[in-house]
Structure 1
Amino acid sequence: MQAPEKAHGRIVAADFVPHPWLRGPHAQTVYPSLFRRLPPLELRRERLELPDGDFVDLGWSGSGGDRIAVLVHGLTGGFESKYLRGLARQLLARNWRTVILQLRGGGPEPNRHPRCYHHGDTGDLRYLWRVLRDREPAVRLATVGWSLGANVLLKALGEEGDAAPVAAAAAACAPFRLLPCAEKLRTGTARLYQAHLLRGLKALVARKHAVVPVPPQVDLARALRAADFIEFDDAYTAPMNGFRDARDYYARCESGRFVGAIRRPTLIVNARDDPFMTPAVLPTEAALSPYVTLEIARRGGHVGFVAAGPHGRPVYWLEQRLAQYLEEAVPR
C-alpha cells in the first residue's frame, strides 16, 4: 500500500448537526440507549475456538461479496448493541457481510479462562483477522470499533503496523487516554454513566466467577465493592492481566500510544462534548499516523450523534458516516 505524502495524520471538523431537541451531550448519549428500538438483524452464530483453549462468539449477517466488516462493541456491549446493529444494517444494504465479535467473556455464557476482555486485549481480534484471511484469501476486511472496542481496534492496528490484514478501519468515541477518562467518570453527572457501566461489569464478573475460579492475585470482593473504575481496575483488571495497578494498565493499553503506528486508512469520529472524556484526551495531528483522519464534532455525546430526519425523525448520523467511509475506502 502506497504511503500518504504527508508526515502525519489530519484532524477535520465533522459535519454532524444534532437534533434540535437533543443538543446537549447527555441527551445525545442517553436517547439512543433508552428510546431507540433494537434494530432487527438476523444473526448466524459461530463459536470460534481460540489457540489458548478459550472461545469467542461471532454473529454473522449477510451473504456473498468479498467485503467483510468486523464489528467490535464497547464495554458491556455485545450482539444486542443498538449502534452495532444499526451499522450492520447500513453495510448490508451496501452488499457487505458483517461479523460481530463478541469479546472474550462478553456474552451470557462465561468464557472458560479467568480473564475477560479489556481495553488492551487485542489478541482475539488479531486472531479473528487471520482466521478470516485464511478462510477466504481474496476477502477484503474492514473493522469498526466503538468506545472500548475503538481502543482495542486502534491498539491492534498500531501493533500490527504494515502487517495488518485489513483494508481499512473506523473507530468511534475512542478513549485515547484512559486515566483522564477514568478520572472524568468520577466527577459530576458522568458518575451516573460510571455507575451504570460498573453495574454491568460487576454482574459480568460475578456471573463468570460463579463457575470459574478466581486467581489468587485478584481481590474479587473488593472489585465488587468498587465505587469507580480505577478501584475496580486496581482490584480486578490489572492483577488479572499482569499489570501492576490500574494506572499501569491504562498507560500501557491506551490507544493514544498506538495511533502513530497505524498503516491502514482509518477514520476516527469523536465528539468534543463526549461526557466520558474531556477534549484534552484528543491527540494532535502530529501524534496521528498519516493514514489516520480524526473527525471531531462539536456535539454528539458518547456513541450518540443523533440528527434530525424528515418530520423530526431521529437519524443515527454516526452509522451513516461510518458506512459511507467504509464504502469509499473499500469500494466494490
Structure 2
Amino acid sequence: MPIYENILYPAPFFLRGGHAQTLYPALFRTLDLPACTVQRITTPDNDFLDIDFHYVTPNSPQKRLAVVSHGLEGNSKRSYIKGMVRALVRAGWDAAAWNFRGCSGSMNRTLHMYHSGSTEDLHSVVSYCAQKGYEEIVLIGFSMGGNQILNYLGHPDSLVHPSVQASVVFSVPCDLVGAAKAMDKSSNAIYLKNFMRTLKEKVAQKHEFYPDLVDISRLSELKTFRDFDETYTAPWYGFKDALEYWEKASSIQFLDRVRVPTLLISARNDPFLWPTCYPTGAAHRSKYFYLETPSDGGHIGFVRIADDDYYWSEIRAMEFLGQVSGRC
C-alpha cells in the first residue's frame, strides 16, 4: 500500500522537536469524559482484565466498537486514550479502553503481567466484546499496545477474531531491538527513569504475593530495559534472554501476514524509535498494511491546537476508519 513519508502533520509553532511534542500532551492535556461503564472480565488463566466501555448512546450499544490499547505502563485514563475514545464516540463508535494486567490500579492475581509480544489478553477482550453483539470491531493502539495489535494480526500462531475489520496504531516500536537502542540514548534518560520506576514498583508488589518466585535482591540496581528484561521479562515468559524476547516480540517480522486494513503512523522525530522501526518494505509489499511517517509528531504526540480539541492522530484515525468501513 502507499507509503506517505511526507504526509502533512502541522505541528504547533511553539512545539519544536520530538521531545516537546512528546511531553506536551502528557503534561498539559486534560480531558473530561462522561462516566464510563467499567467491566471486569476473567481470563482463561483465572486472572482479570478491567475494561472501560464508552457508549454513543447509553443503554443502547451500537453494532460497531473500537478496542483501544494503551502503551507501556499506561492505562485507560491517559489523555491520549481519552482523546481517542471521545473522537470515536462522536464518530458513532462505541469504545472499549482496556487495561493491561496490573495497569488499572488493581494488581492482577497471577505472576504474569504483560509484555510487548503478548496477545492472549487482547484476544480475550475482543472475544468478550464480540459476545456482546458487536458485528464490526476495530483495534486502535499506541506504542506497546500497537505492537501487541500488530502481533495479534500477523503472528502465525494468532487466531484473529473474525469480527476484527481494521486497525490503526501509533508510535509503534515494531523492532524492539532498535527501540531498546533508542531508549538507551542519554536524551531519553528522563523517560527511561520513569518507566523503570513504575516497573520496579510492580515487581516489588509481585514479590509480596510471590516471595519465592520473585527475587528482588537486585531490583534497585536495574537501570535499563535490558536490565529489566534480562532479570524478569525473559525468565517469566520463557525467553532465553532479553535479546530473544525483543526479537520474538517484534511485530515487524509479521506485517506481511496482516490481513485486515491496518494503518501505522509513526513520526520521524519520535525519540523512542530507531530507524528500523519504520517498516517501509512491508508497506510496499502488502495490500493491507499502510504506513505514514510525518516528519513531526513525537511519541504519541501529534498535538493540534483548535477549538474542537481534537489531536491530529484522532482526526487521522477517524478518516482511515471511514475509508475502510465506509460508515464512519
Query: What TM-score, normalized to structure 2?
Result: 0.91
1:188 aligned partner: 186
1:54 alignment partner, one of 37, 47, 64? 47
Structure 2 distance, partners of 1:274, 1:219, is 34
- Give yes or no for the alignment of 1:12 onto 2:12: no
Q: Deviations over 1:183-242 (max 9, x none)?
A: 2111121121111111122222223432x20564x5433344311111001001111111
1:135 alignment partner, one of 112, 132, 136? 132
- Give yes or no for the alignment of 1:71 onto 2:73: no
Structure 2 distance, partners of 1:329, 1:145, is 17
- Give yes or no for the alignment of 1:95 onto 2:92: yes
Equivalent residue letter for 2:3:
I
1:6 aligned partner: none
Structure 2 distance, partners of 1:273, 1:18, is 12
Structure 2 distance, partners of 1:120, 1:175, is 11
CA 1:41–1:174 in 2, change beyond 3 Å: closer, same or farther?
farther
1:24-173 pair list within 5 angstroms: 24-62=17-55, 63=57, 64-136=61-133, 139-159=135-155, 160=158, 164-173=162-171
- Which stretch of structure 1 is more off in the superposition, 183-192 or 155-164? 155-164
Residue 157 of structure 1 aligns to a residue whose secondary structure is: helix
> Are 2:175 and 2:276, in contact at CA under 8 Å, matched by a contact in 1?
no
1:290 aligned partner: 287
Offset at residue 331 of structure 1 (A): 3.3
Residue 121 of structure 1 aligns to a residue whose secondary structure is: coil
1:322 aligned partner: 317
- Which stretch of structure 1 is more off in the superposition, 276-285 or 53-62? 276-285
Q: Deviations over 1:279-324 (max 9, x none)?
A: 23211234653201011110111000113436xx975211121122
> Are 1:43 and 1:59, in contact at CA under 8 Å, matched by a contact in 2?
yes
Structure 2 distance, partners of 1:315, 1:207, is 37
Residue 202 of structure 2 aligns to a residue whose secondary structure is: helix
Q: Deviations over 1:99-128 (max 9, x none)?
A: 011012222111110010110110011122
Query: What TM-score, normalized to structure 1?
Result: 0.90
Structure 2 distance, partners of 1:220, 1:181, is 26
Offset at residue 156 of structure 1 (A): 0.3
1:270 alignment partner, one of 266, 269, 277? 266
Structure 1 distance, partners of 2:79, 2:230, is 30
Structure 2 distance, partners of 1:133, 1:319, is 24
Percent of aligned positions that are identical: 34
> Are 1:83 and 1:319, in contact at CA under 8 Å, matched by a contact in 2?
no
Residue 95 of structure 1 aligns to a residue whose secondary structure is: coil
Structure 2 distance, partners of 1:161, 1:52, is 18
1:22 aligned partner: 15
Offset at residue 271 of structure 1 (A): 0.4
CA 1:129–1:92 in 2, change beyond 3 Å: closer, same or farther?
same
> Are 1:12 and 1:294, in contact at CA under 8 Å, matched by a contact in 2?
yes
CA 1:122–1:142 in 2, change beyond 3 Å: closer, same or farther?
same
**5+ long unaligned stretches in structure 2:** none
Offset at residue 257 of structure 1 (A): 1.3
- Which stretch of structure 1 is more off in the superposition, 40-49 or 64-73? 40-49
1:169-248 pair list within 5 angstroms: 169-210=167-208, 212-214=209-211, 216=213, 219-248=215-244
Q: Deviations over 1:123-165 (max 9, x none)?
A: 01112222222331x5210010100000000000113477653
Equivalent residue letter for 1:84:
I
Structure 2 distance, partners of 1:302, 1:250, is 20
> Are 1:164 and 1:263, in contact at CA under 8 Å, matched by a contact in 2?
no
Residue 227 of structure 1 aligns to a residue whose secondary structure is: coil
> Are 1:74 and 1:147, in contact at CA under 8 Å, matched by a contact in 2?
yes
Structure 1 distance, partners of 2:196, 2:252, is 24
> Are 2:139 and 2:166, in contact at CA under 8 Å, matched by a contact in 1?
yes
The CA RMSD measured in Å over matched residues stands at 1.9
